[in-house]
Amino acid sequence: MHQHGHNDPNAKKLFELIKDVKIAMMTTVDTDGTLHSRPMHSQEADEHGDLWFFTQIQSPKITEVSRDSEVNLAYSDPSSQTYVSVSGKAEIVRDKAIIQEKWSEPLRAWFPKGVDDPQIALIRVHPMKGEYWDSPSSTMVHLYGYVKAAVTGQPPHPGDQAKVNLT
C-alpha cells in the first residue's frame, strides 16, 4: 500500500502534501520522444496510493501514455512553499463503475453527458518514486536562513526535502 498504512513517514508526508494541491503538471513522452506537459486536475489518491485524472479519450496524452506509460506529476503550491514530484506508470481506464465513483458535477463542463459521455476516460498513475520540498512559508524564516547562510558560508536549508520509494 502506498498512501494508507505505508510505513515510511516520508511517503505519508508526500501524499499529505499533494492532498490539497488540485492541479498537477502531467508530463508524458510525445510520439517524437520529446517531453510534453500539461495541467491536469488531480483526484485524491486512492487507498493504494494511485492518482487519478479525468481526460478525453481522443486526447493526445492517451496515445502518449499508450505508447510509453512512464509519466511524471509535478505538484506546486507556492503560497505554502510546497513542491512535489511523482514519477510512475500510467494506464488508461474506461471502467464505468470507477468513472462513476470518481465523478463530480464540475466535470460536466468537460463532459456534458456526464458519466455516460463517450469521450470520458481516466488515467490512473501508479506512483513509483517521489520527491518533495516543503519549506516554511514565512518570509521571516526564509530571511533568517539567508542571513545565517551569509554568516556561516553554508547554503540555506529552509525546510524538509526527501526522496521517497513508493513501490
Q: What integer pLDDT is reported at residue 35 of this predicted model?
A: 97
* Fold classification of 9-165 (topology level): Pnp Oxidase; Chain A (2.30.110)
Q: 67-82, pLDDT tens digit by residue?
A: 999 999 999 999 888 9
Mean pLDDT across 141-165: 63
The CA distance from 81 to 2, in Å, is 24
Listed by start position, the domains of the chain span 9-165
Q: 88-123, pLDDT tens digit by residue?
A: 999 999 999 999 999 999 999 999 999 999 999 999
